[in-house]
Structures are given as structure tokens and as C-alpha cells.
Structure 1
């Protein structure tokens, strides 16, 4: 069949498309910019004629229609592979649930049958002459998700850029049940501007950076501050290999710092798996020959990262204890984000011959009552989720310095972490370390 004729045959309204959803179904929105805003609204309208619908997504950027229209969660249960600030409001209210995972394994949860999908709804770029729809800004585990879905509905949006990929970067019209045309705004999440504390932490990491390295940056103020330092520096010929491409990378491309010329793998190409940032970033990626998308199973694979050799991974975390355990996704039992790819990149960076991984955090925080608390703890006791175990703890960074933890004993870790703790808490941490028998007896105070 002619692809344009097939397109017209399958084109329908969002209200008609969501009739594919039946009682008890799992509906998958994929992640980030793949969020199908028009279809979400149409599905929400079916609240009263459906029962027990489970929706899966990750990193929501605006209110979710199926939850806003169903305040008592009688019909819809919202499940999240990774959480944004918007998602936390739902989780805190007991209206959404976290689905723990590692990004490098995310696709396999679908193909091994652990994550069922009756209906997949994703936003894609407009169809090309061959009948293909680019996944655009979200490659991630899209191929695996679509391979197991019983029904596939595409929300076609001209704002979604065409992004070329290493493999499985598009879907053909023949594989699709319904086409819904939409001009809903794509999800955006412009990066937070760095503050003074972010810049202080970034300055501690900067001396470890060098020409020709391949860089993985997390999202947030500190990575943006580091980007500012790099953009203003003499560093050159950097590479990009990252799970999430944000505006911090755009600044580095515009400054001419990222060329990918020295990469040991896929030289000349920047690689990402999901992209979330500004409209300017999305326009930069449209039909770009410099940047390719790839599935998480490739981008976050330890075997892939190992081949990059001069690989530097920089991510944030929430708290660290004196043993080197790192919590990056919860505050006590309160879910903040998710494991995501942190452990993937910590593991991969260590496997790379000259690789290093840095986990950064402010040494302390001030609560709403104005009371200061240390982010370096004697030990975790409040149900905090351990994202990176002590056996894989890399370089830990605060505004007071860098603690190198691989190969260190418990007493060496305690010393190194206390040295970068906020000065107001160092004596208490020493006393705790003594009580926990991880403070060297001969250490003079």
C-alpha cells in the first residue's frame, strides 16, 4: 500500500484512538518528550467507562490529565520509571508509584515480560517519504517498548525534531494502529541556572578534566556551572556520550568545546539516549549530522562505556554516609528521582582504562525552619535508597573538596569524607566514626 494512503487510513482523532484501551490494560507513554499530551487528555475523558488502567511514564514535565481528571484514582494508576518535580507531587500525595530500574536494563524489562504493554502511546516526528516516523528526542527503550505493545498509537507532532540514530530510531507506518496529529507543546525543561554553591562544587571537579575526554553530565545547576567553566576554559576536543542530553551540552557545542574528534568509539559523533531541555536545544538536534541517538541498552552499557577510555562521568547525589554508600534518589522513604543511569555510569567509568566518575553534592542543606543539616551522614537509618553501593563508590565532591574512595578502607573513607563535610559537623562525624569503629585509633585530633 502507498504509505500516504495508509497514513490517511489510520489517521483519526485522539478520542477515537484511545478506544483501543480496554479494562485492565497497561498503557505506556514512554519517557520525557515522547509524552503524548493530546492522547493523555483523550484517555482522561474515558475515566467513567474504564476500569483499572495502569499508565507508565518517566520524567513528567506538566500535570497529567489522567490524574487530574481522576483525583481519587478510581480508574487510573500512574507508574514512574524516573521522577521529576511534577511526579514528586503525585508520589507525595500517594497518587503515583515508582518503578525501580536500571536504565541499561530498562528495555529488557519489556522484552522479558516484566513490564507488560497493551497500548503504547508516543509522540514522534512527522512521517517521511518512506513511511517512517523518527523517535526524535527519545530513543531510550522505545524499540523494546514498541516491540511488545499489542497496539501502537502515534501522536505526530511537527515540533518533534528528526534525530538520526545508531539503530532502531524510527517506526514504520505499517507497524502502527492509529495516527493522531497534534500541535501540543513538546515537554521542555530548561536547565536550572547555577548558583554560587554549584560553581564552588564545579571548581573542585574542574582540575580533573582534560583535553580529548568524553564527558557524561547529569542535569542540574552543578553540571551547568561546570559547563560554564569549560566553555570559558582552554579545554578542547571534548566528546559527548550521555544518557540525557540537556542544555549544558548545547552551550558546549556552541562554544566549540565538543568536537568528538578524539573519541575512541564513534569518532566525530556525540551520542545520547534521551533529550530534555529547551526548544533551542531541540532545534539544534533537528536533522543534525553531529549527534546521534541510541537505545539505553547501548548508551548505558558498561561494555560500551569501557571502550571510551578517557571517560569522565559527573552526576549529583543527595547524601553519602561515612562508609561511602550513596543515596541519589530518595530522602528517607520519600522518592525524589530514581536510580536512572547513575550506577551504569559509575560502573562503566571505572571499567574504562582512564575513566573517572564523580558524584557531587552540597556538604549541607538548610531546612524550612532555618536549621542546617549535614549531607554527609554517619550512616543511613531512615529508609534512604542506596543508589551506589559502597563497593562502587567513586570520587565524592562537595564545595570543600574531593574524596577518592575506590580501594580505601573504612577508616580512610571516614577521614576523606569528614574532610569535605561542612565544618560545623566534622567533630560530630568524628565522634560517630569512633562509635562505629571506623576511626583510626592513632589518628591525632
Structure 2
């Protein structure tokens, strides 16, 4: 019997005993993205009445949490969230979730330098291998930093978790773990593909027309990037590379269609680089034991100086609104949180600083509110309370269903003119009038 198996057995415990180490006032790094904690979450929820002021650092939730259901008023657990998914947004609407403003690339540093203490790190992992390693599966992100900082590390073993190759930082050794809980076969969260509209396809086409063989692709989350991935798969592009934050199903589509080789990359040649993944089972099956896929901590994937070493890095992301000066909001509707900053600014910056790189912010020109009224996403000024995700000097290409424009190097009047040209025709005259009031419209403009 190996030393590691003996150590595993010594540290193996029940879910209830593992969460018994949690005490009131603790800070816990909790579930993130596809690495959920269905077993430990239920066990911790049972302790709700006896605990107070527990801070749970989490994000991009892909399954509901028992601790939130057990504490609907937030009297015991506080949900501190680095990026909102649909589930986290529901917690926010309940008054249960609070956002942590950040640049995703800096999260490991925040953990190591800016959070005074981490008492417990709970993480879902794959079964231990013969060398004593637990694999983090589809989520590497900030986990190595969390393991380094935490006083106590508890792993929940999921028999269904894919084994993800790295990079580095994609595993934790049994010697670094304090408690092991066997979760059995708890599956992986399935994130269905967002339905694609004709408008999504039209916007995606503008970006597709700009893509070239050998580009290195980063796609954000949402229907439009997914539409672009499908359209790339159906195109005749070749030798594309991947250096991204989130790996999603559309990358599998592109790879299966022969569009991705990674041969033209300057770093991690031939490998699809990411920091976390979420999608359907085909994505998890693709990741499993696949040496062409490399998971890294987020301070590698999203670092401007590292990502931009790849030539022709192309960043494609969504936004909620943009003002006539080029300020982009991708996080809120007014003061209401929708998602978060995530790594959008990281990749907007990295793509522009890549040799031959381009950055695209894509959005439908309008949205319809709950009362059925249509509004323009291109506005004179950002909605009151809206936050700036991408500052105006950072933004390069903007695309709607009415076209695409490059804002880099543009004067305020040129930016206004180009953005109004991307707005829905019903709103253009009003936008011109507002631009005149803001003194960013030349009289010679039409």
C-alpha cells in the first residue's frame, strides 16, 4: 500500500465531521463555476442555526446552494460573489448576495494579499491518482492561491469530474489536504447552450468577416459569442488558436470541425488554454484526459503580458450598454447587478496589445423592458448607477446588428458619429440631439 493511500485513509471523514471545523466568523472559499459542493453544502446547511457571520466567497454558480435555502434572510451566511450567474443574480435579488469588484486576473493576488485571512477552503475534486494528486477538473482559476492561503483545506471527491490537463496549478496533493469527503457520483452541472437569434448571427457575421487564419480566439459568455463559435465551425478558417478565460461548448464545435490547431500560437503551442470551463457533458468529456487542453490559474490566462504574447489575439465579448464617448458597461442595468467585470477588461487590454490583435465589444442595439418598451443600448450617457467596465480609451471595435466601428484613436465627435451609426434607426435623431447638448457633435455631421 502506498504512503499516499494511507494518508488518504487517515484524512477520510464524513461530511458532517468535515464541516464541523467551521466556526462563527469564518471566511470560506466556497464553490465556483462547475466545481460545486453538493455534499459539503448540504452538511454545512444543517449547521445553519448554530453559526453566525460566515462569509462565503464564491461565484459563477452553476447549481443552487442548500446554505442559501436554509438561510433565506442571510442571518448566518453572507454570499460574497466575484461574478454573477443567473443563480447568483437570484441570490442578489433576494438581498443575499454581494458583489466583489475585481479584475479577474488579480483574484489570486487579492486572496494572498488583500483578504486578511481564509479559514477554510472547500473544493470539489476528481478521485486521487496513484501519485496522491486530486485534480481540480474544469476549474483552476484562483484555487492554487486559495489552497496556499487557507488554514484548513477540505476536498469533496466527485467520481464524475473530468481529469483536466495543465498548465500548472490544476491539482492539489493529498499532503496539502486536511479532510477528504467522498461525494460519489454527483455528476457535473449541465449548462445548456443559449438560444441564438437572427440578430446574434448578424452581429457575429461582422466579427467573422474580420477573422483570419491563425487568429487566437477568446470568447465571452452568451448567445452572440456562441453564435460566432458555431459560425466559425462552419467556416473555412484554419489553424485557429485558443487562449481564453472560459472554455465553452462552441470551442468543441470548432475543434471537431478542424478549425482549431493552435499551431500558430507563440506560447502554449497546440494547446487550448483556459482557466475554467462550463457547458454540457460534451465539454467535460472533451476536457477529460485531453493533452490538447491546458488549464491554468487565472493570473496566467488573463494576464495582459502573458496573453498578448500570442500574436493575433482576438477578444469577443458582450456588453449591456455603451455611451457616446465609448464607455462600456457589461455588469449592471443602472445600479442593479447583472454579472460582473470578470476578465473582460483583461482581454480587451491584452488583445489590443497583441501583435495583430483585435478586441470586439458586441451587443444588440436595443432591449425591451418588462413593460414592453424598447430602449437603445447606445446612450448619450450611461444609465444613472451603471458602472464602467471598459474605459473609453480601452475600447476598440464595437458591433451591433447595424454594423461595426473602430473607436481607437477617434475624437469625441468621431466616436459619437460612429456609435450613432450603430444604433437602431429609431433612436438616431434623438442621439444626435443629445450629442449636440454634450458638445460632441460637429455641425458638419449628417
C-alpha displacement at 1:114, in angstroms?
Answer: 2.2
C-alpha displacement at 1:190, in angstroms?
Answer: 2.4
Question: SS where residue 392 of structure 1 aligns?
Answer: coil
Whether 2:69 is the aligned partner of 1:68: answer yes
C-alpha distance after superposition, 1:311-356 (max 9, x if no partner): 1100101000001000001001111111000000010011112100
Structure 2, unmatched stretches of 5+, are: none
Conservation of the 8 A alpha-carbon contact between 1:55 and 1:79: yes
C-alpha distance after superposition, 1:224-249 (max 9, x if no partner): 11112111111111101101000111
Conservation of the 8 A alpha-carbon contact between 2:397 and 2:404: yes
C-alpha distance after superposition, 1:362-394 (max 9, x if no partner): 000112222110000000241101100011111
Matched ranges for 1:353-364 at <5 A:
353-364=355-366
Conservation of the 8 A alpha-carbon contact between 2:31 and 2:61: no
- Among 214, 226, 235, the residue aligned to 1:224: 226
Paired position in structure 1 for 2:276: 274
Conservation of the 8 A alpha-carbon contact between 2:36 and 2:63: no
Conservation of the 8 A alpha-carbon contact between 1:317 and 1:328: yes
C-alpha displacement at 1:205, in angstroms?
Answer: 1.0
Question: SS where residue 61 of structure 2 aligns?
Answer: coil
Matched ranges for 1:37-116 at <5 A:
37-114=38-115, 116=117
Paired position in structure 2 for 1:430: 432
Paired position in structure 1 for 2:189: 187
Separation in 1, partners of 2:411, 2:58: 40
Whether 2:144 is the aligned partner of 1:143: answer yes
Paired position in structure 2 for 1:130: 131
Matched ranges for 1:8-407 at <5 A:
8-114=9-115, 116-182=117-183, 183-407=185-409
Conservation of the 8 A alpha-carbon contact between 2:273 and 2:294: yes
Conservation of the 8 A alpha-carbon contact between 2:125 and 2:161: yes
> Considering only aligned residues, what root-mean-square deviation do their CA atoms show, in Å?
1.1
Structure 1, unmatched stretches of 5+, are: none
C-alpha distance after superposition, 1:192-242 (max 9, x if no partner): 131111111101111110101100001211111111211111111110110
- Give the structure-1-normalised TM-score: 0.98
C-alpha displacement at 1:35, in angstroms?
Answer: 2.0
Separation in 2, partners of 1:305, 1:30: 26
Separation in 1, partners of 2:197, 2:25: 46
Question: SS where residue 357 of structure 1 aligns?
Answer: strand
Separation in 1, partners of 2:366, 2:425: 10
Conservation of the 8 A alpha-carbon contact between 1:109 and 1:115: no
C-alpha displacement at 1:187, in angstroms?
Answer: 2.5
Separation in 2, partners of 1:2, 1:125: 19
Provide closer, same or farther for how the CA distance between residues 364 and 156 of structure 1 changes in structure 2, counting only shifts above 3 A.
Answer: same
Question: SS where residue 245 of structure 2 aligns?
Answer: strand
Question: SS where residue 112 of structure 1 aligns?
Answer: helix
Separation in 1, partners of 2:318, 2:251: 16
Separation in 2, partners of 1:260, 1:74: 50
Separation in 2, partners of 1:388, 1:18: 40
Conservation of the 8 A alpha-carbon contact between 2:323 and 2:379: yes
Question: SS where residue 326 of structure 2 aligns?
Answer: coil
Conservation of the 8 A alpha-carbon contact between 2:124 and 2:156: yes
C-alpha distance after superposition, 1:1-28 (max 9, x if no partner): 7111111111111111000101100111
- Give the structure-2-normalised TM-score: 0.98
Conservation of the 8 A alpha-carbon contact between 1:272 and 1:299: yes
Conservation of the 8 A alpha-carbon contact between 1:33 and 1:123: no
Question: SS where residue 314 of structure 2 aligns?
Answer: strand
- Aligned residue pair count: 444
Separation in 1, partners of 2:268, 2:282: 25
